[in-house]
């Protein structure tokens, strides 16, 4: 019989509804795995076992007939994890920084409240890059987030702990956030599905000014259907948000993913990096080739197109990124920030209001041109990253934070463009590198077409046939089991090394 964590999140909830499992069974199973493996992969910075057990027992006490009324949707009783950048009332939330090591918010982010309302049970906070500033997660409040496929490599960032937790089987799915690729980058590295919704689809409240529209909460999951189910729970309109959310599809995003039938699409394929003039690793190009062939075989019209934006966007994006790094930090604790964060904040403080306004205006001009260029396409297909993996410590190894930041730009020259445009974008694992590491591709749709993106991603996922593959740590130290068909066990640990990087 398979272990609990071998079931998808949606399957776990179905087992709870049928009475085959209780929510407390799921919670105890995952808490056992977290205790055994979290520090190994740097997944959690704060675990909340007592609160999780209490919430699970409360859910189990509700009679089956009343569960849908109290917590509608398909996720009743399923554990989840919340990113350490996301406000959670009464739970230590450090924003990945030693400067906030003892910070306990008094308010929940809207997305935390909505996930609780859907009947999910938070197990705690997953490690994140300091203030969300980097695409790796190697701070001072938790062990570095390591890739479960190869512990010498990074799990990415800024949602690195979330991806490490999901890939290692420590939680069925996780909440993340994506301001420049922060969900999609870790997902690509760890063989997962990472989703960035259309701008405005998921509330960023109740605090904050919206980050110029770049960041969005979204799911990290093992399957597209689990990601879609988590998105349904998050994508509830909240008054006062600065961006108008698109209308939800009939039946929700889970129905679109389950159907895996987006209709015949016109898909523009490209591999040219957009934010850097950077050679793309052959394994990343090969993954796009694989995805293009699978999508063409599904009946879609896949055509070669120019990249919609180019390196001229980078100076504009980096200006905005510097300003976004200016999150309030107590003056007496600023010396506890990491060198990269201090560099970004120093550059942000030097940007005048006039420069910022001019930058935002020019950025919108570039976005308009790009959207006109891709208006006849339903989807864009490109690599998620320029290289398959990066070792832990590789970005910081020179000791120069400016070099660190430039390495990040060259490593991820695709994802952030779609934060700027506000389009829905998902990383889907489709192939392995020559060293055996998972490699993802990006599918990006028109604004508001999240259902199409998820349906196409589910179709690609089915044809790629990779959902049964897991790293070796996945199979370690199992506990409870449940009656279900045995999933296919596949693949051992990858052995990607620095040769994938340079």
Catalytic residues: 83, 158, 182
47 φ/ψ angles, rounded to the nearest 5 degrees: -110, 140
Could you write out the three-class secondary structure of 248-285? CCCCHHHHHHHHCCCCCCEEEECCCCCCCCCCCCHHHH
The whole-angstrom distance between residue 416's C-alpha and the CA centroid of its chain comes to 13
Question: Is the four-CA dihedral 136, 383, 172, 6 of positive or negative sign?
Answer: negative
**CB 282: neighbour CB atoms within 10 A?**
12
Residue 160 in tokens:
């690195």
Terminal CA-CA length for the chain: 43
21 φ/ψ angles, rounded to the nearest 5 degrees: -135, 155
139 by Cβ neighbours in 10 Å (0-12 / 13-18 / 19+) ranks as buried
The helix/strand/coil state of 87 is: coil
Residue 435 in tokens:
């060293």
- Alpha-carbon separation of residue 291 from 82, 308, 309, 463, 480 (angstroms): 31, 19, 22, 9, 36
Greatest Cα pair distance in the chain: 63
Cα gap 416→133, rounded to integer Å: 13
Cα gap 481→484, rounded to integer Å: 9
Cα gap 129→179, rounded to integer Å: 12
The helix/strand/coil state of 458 is: helix
β-pair partners for 22 = none
């Amino acid at each position: 019989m398979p272990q609990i964590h071998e079931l998808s999140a949606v399957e776990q909830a179905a087992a709870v509804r049928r009475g085959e499992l209780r929510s407390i069974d799921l919670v105890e199973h995952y808490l056992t795995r977290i205790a055994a493996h979290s520090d190994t992969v740097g997944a959690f910075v704060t675990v909340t076992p007592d609160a999780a057990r209490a919430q699970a027992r409360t859910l189990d006490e509700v009679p089956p007939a009343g569960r849908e009324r109290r917590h509608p949707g398909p996720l009743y009783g399923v554990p989840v994890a919340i990113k350490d950048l996301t406000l959670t009332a009464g739970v230590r939330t450090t924003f990945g920084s030693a400067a906030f090591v003892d910070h306990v918010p008094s308010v929940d982010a809207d997305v935390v409240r909505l996930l609780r309302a859907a009947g999910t049970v938070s197990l705690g906070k997953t490690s994140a890059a300091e203030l969300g500033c980097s695409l790796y997660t190697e701070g001072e409040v938790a062990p570095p987030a390591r890739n479960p496929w190869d512990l010498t490599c990074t799990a990415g960032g800024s949602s690195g702990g979330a991806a490490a937790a999901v890939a290692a089987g420590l939680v069925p799915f996780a909440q993340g956030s994506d301001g420049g690729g922060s969900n999609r980058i870790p997902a690509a590295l760890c063989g997962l599905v990472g989703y960035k919704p259309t701008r405005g689809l998921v509330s960023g409240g109740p605090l904050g000014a919206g980050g110029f529209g770049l960041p969005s909460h979204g799911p990290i999951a093992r399957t597209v259907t689990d990601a879609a189910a988590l998105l349904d729970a998050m994508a509830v309109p909240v008054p006062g948000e600065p961006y108008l959310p698109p209308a939800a599809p009939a039946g929700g995003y889970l129905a679109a993913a389950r159907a895996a039938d987006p209709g015949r699409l016109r898909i523009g394929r490209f591999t040219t990096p957009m934010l850097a003039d950077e050679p793309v690793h052959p394994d990343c190009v090969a993954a796009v080739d694989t995805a293009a062939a699978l999508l063409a075989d599904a009946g879609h019209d896949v055509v070669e197109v120019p990249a919609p934006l180019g390196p001229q966007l980078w100076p504009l994006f980096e200006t905005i990124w510097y300003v976004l790094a200016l999150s309030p930090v107590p003056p007496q604790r600023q010396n506890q920030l990491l060198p990269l964060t201090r560099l970004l904040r120093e550059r942000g403080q030097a940007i005048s209001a006039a420069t910022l306004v001019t930058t935002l205006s020019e950025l919108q001009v570039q976005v308009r041109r790009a959207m006109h260029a891709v208006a006849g396409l339903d989807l864009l297909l490109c690599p998620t990253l320029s290289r398959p993996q990066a070792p832990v410590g590789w970005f910081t190894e020179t000791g120069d934070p400016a070099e660190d930041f430039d390495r990040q730009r060259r490593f991820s020259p695709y994802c952030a463009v779609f934060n700027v445009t506000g389009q829905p974008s998902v990383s889907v694992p489709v192939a392995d590198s020559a060293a055996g590491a998972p490699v993802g591709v990006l599918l990006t749709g028109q604004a508001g077409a999240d259902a199409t993106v998820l349906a196409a991603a589910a179709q690609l996922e089915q044809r790629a046939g990779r959902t049964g593959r897991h790293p070796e740590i996945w199979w370690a130290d199992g506990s409870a089991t449940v009656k279900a068909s045995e999933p296919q066990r596949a693949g051992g640990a990858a052995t990607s090394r620095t040769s994938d990087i340079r």
